[in-house]
Amino acid sequence: MEQLSLHRRMYDRGLRLLLRLAAALVCALLAGLIGVIFLQGLPNLTWAMLTSEPSVIRNITGILPNILNTVALVAGTLLIALPLGVGAAIYLTEYAASHRLAAVIEFAAETLTGIPSILYGLVGMLFFCQKLGWGSSIRAGILTLVIMILPTIVRTTQESLKTVPQSYREAALGLGSGKWRMIRTLVLPASVDGIVTGCILAVGRIVGESAALLYTAGSAAVLARSLGELLTTSGGSLTVALYMYSMERGKIEVGFAIASILMVLTLLIDLSAKLVGRKLRRN
């Protein structure tokens, strides 16, 4: 280093410092966000709030209905999107004989990934709520989210299907197995970790989604008495509740309490995706 001119030495030092500063800024942003949310959210998060239905008359703030709505949205969306997404991925990697059709499908999936969630919300509202006459309801929210997360599941499943060695397939087909049997008994079991990772990513997107849900699933916070009622009536997710409490009702402290729940969920989802990913690499 001693032979370098002063100018080059300064350039080197300065850029190294700049790189470290940028990375430190990113970490500080995350630490700051987590700090602000937990400091203002956790003190406001009470057991009573988690387990009760809100009531204006009795002056109770409760988010239990929103928690249940979120669970219903996650479960319902995965239940429908998982088979469809895995099926599409299987078609693309195992069946697609015509390259042109496969290219069209992949382009469509790319396009779906790029569409902003507010547009999903709008089309979901026009189609499910108005055209089909379902009104604001959890089922309209679920189907809107299915369209939205389909590409995520297709892409991750496709990636893990591609990691199954071609020799497995040739061995199975050579022994006289049909294609479907080969997929069912060999290819799918070998790529289950990747599919699980896709599901976890999808859960993360569903839990964090708000714009697509506001006009499809609505913002109500009433406890449903049956599964049928839950699916056919309006219900706000945790994110929508956060928005309503902090923007429309001016109860920032409730917003922060919900934000801290969402942060814990984000941490858990990221952690479990990492664990599954690590297991995937080890195999």
Partner 1 sequence: MDALEAKYAAAKRYSETAMGLVFLLCGVLAVAFVLLISAYLILSGLPAIREVGLLDFLFGPVWAPTHKTEPQFGILPFILTSVYGTAGAVAVGVPVGFLTAMFLSKLAPRRLAAVVRTAVDLLSGIPSVVYGLVGMTVLVPAVRRVFRLPSGATLLAAILVLSVMILPSIISVSETALNAVPREYEEASLALGATETETWFRVSAPAASSGIAAAVVLGIGRAIGEAMAIMMVAGNVANMPGLFKSVRFLTTAIASEMSYAGVGSLQRSALYSIALVLFLFIMLINVILNLWFKNKREG
Binders of partner 1 among residues 5 to 44 (CB under 8 A) are 8, 11-12, 15-16, 18-23, 25-27, 29-30, 33, 36-37, 40
**Residue 159 within binding range of partner 1, rule CB under 8 A:** no
Q: Which of 75, 104, 132, 227 binds partner 1 (CB under 8 A)?
A: 104
When the beta carbons of 87 and 228 are compared against partner 1, the nearer one is 87
Q: Which of 71, 186, 211, 264 binds partner 1 (CB under 8 A)?
A: 211
Instruction: Write down the least CB distance from residue 58 to partner 1, Å.
Output: 26
User: What whole-number distance in Å separates Cα of residue 81 and Cα of residue 76?
Assistant: 9
When the beta carbons of 79 and 101 are compared against partner 1, the nearer one is 101
Q: Which residues of 143-181 are buried (b: 16+ CB within 10 A; e: fewer)?
A: bbbbbbbbbbbbbbbbbbbeebeeeebeebeeeebeeee
Instruction: Write down the least CB distance from residue 95 to partner 1, Å.
Output: 6
User: What whole-number distance in Å separates Cα of residue 155 and Cα of residue 202?
Assistant: 11
Compute CA distances 165 → 89, 118, 169, 171, whole Å: 16, 40, 7, 10
**Residue 119 within binding range of partner 1, rule CB under 8 A:** yes
Residue 3 phi, psi dihedral angles, 5° rounding: -75, -15
Which range binds partner 1 by CB under 8 A, 50-58, 189-197, 220-228, 252-260? 252-260
**Residue 129 within binding range of partner 1, rule CB under 8 A:** no
Q: Which of 42, 67, 96, 173 binds partner 1 (CB under 8 A)?
A: 96
User: What whole-number distance in Å separates Cα of residue 3 and Cα of residue 9?
Assistant: 10
Neighbours of 48 (CB within 10 A): 10
When the beta carbons of 199 and 242 are compared against partner 1, the nearer one is 242
Total residue count of the chain as it appears in this document:
283
Q: Which of 69, 70, 197, 239 binds partner 1 (CB under 8 A)?
A: 239
Neighbours of 185 (CB within 10 A): 12
When the beta carbons of 136 and 233 are compared against partner 1, the nearer one is 136
When the beta carbons of 176 and 225 are compared against partner 1, the nearer one is 176
